[in-house]
Amino acid sequence: MPLFSHHKPRVLLPYALYLPQGQAPRGGWPLILFLHGSGERGRDGKKQATVGLGPAIQANPKSWPAVVLMPQCPKEAQWRGEPLARAYELLGQVETQYQTNPRRVYLTGLSMGGYGCWNLACQYPERFAAVAPICGAGDPFLVWQRLSRVPIWNFHGAADEVVPVSFSRALTDALAKAGNAQARYTEYPTEKHDVWNRVYRESEFIRWLFAQQKRKTR
């Protein structure tokens, strides 16, 4: 039985979905939205699960006790505008269908998906319990303006040959100026672009991610 189910709805984006084994914890499973990179774009609904978080889950499913949504961006598009809006709409549908924990919704992505993380988090800063962009970039002004209270752990390789590490450094500065005391930044001094292979297997990161919860609202 495959770990991921694949879906090709007529209106929304194709997506892969991971459902953990066993009984859901009190409050429901956490929910992770994963945004893939440019090389995984398409319409097959499968490719986006083959790079980054998907292989990490395949290697050690017990480390990822969450419902994981992996939408697929169209070939000529990026994680902004309509594709990003559709991914966000899918998130709401999955949340309702599987009764996931509304206090434990997490956002992560790599490369083009790292850009998407910053974009979506700036649009909906109250939506996510934590955000983990990997080797992406965003608008420092919007990050400073919108993400002063969101737990964020950003990752980048200093030797990145695709997305300059200076982008993440600028966003780290923006978060510091915003007074975000829950922001973390890890820069791997010798790693290149594909740092996601390391990040999604880091036990410290996984523990941090699942420890984040939004406060209960009265």
For residue 11, pLDDT over 90 is answered with no
State phi, psi for 30 to the nearest 5 degrees: -60, 160
Stretch (H or E) spanning 15: strand 15-18
Please indicate, yes or no, whether the overall pTM of this predicted structure exceeds 0.85: yes
Q: Which helix (H) or strand (E) holds 28?
A: none
Nearest to 108 by CA among 97, 117, 100: 117
The answer to whether 173 and 89 have CB atoms below 8 angstroms apart is: no
Q: What is the pLDDT of residue 2?
A: 54
Position 218 pLDDT exceeds 60: no
Q: Are 151 and 212 in contact (CB under 8 A)?
A: yes
Domains, the chain, ordered by start? 4-211 (3.40.50.1820)
pLDDT, average across residues 82-89: 96
For the chain, the residue count is: 218
For 141-199, how does the pLDDT look when each residue is reduced to its tens digit (9 = 90+)? 999 999 999 999 999 999 999 999 999 999 999 999 999 999 999 999 999 999 999 99
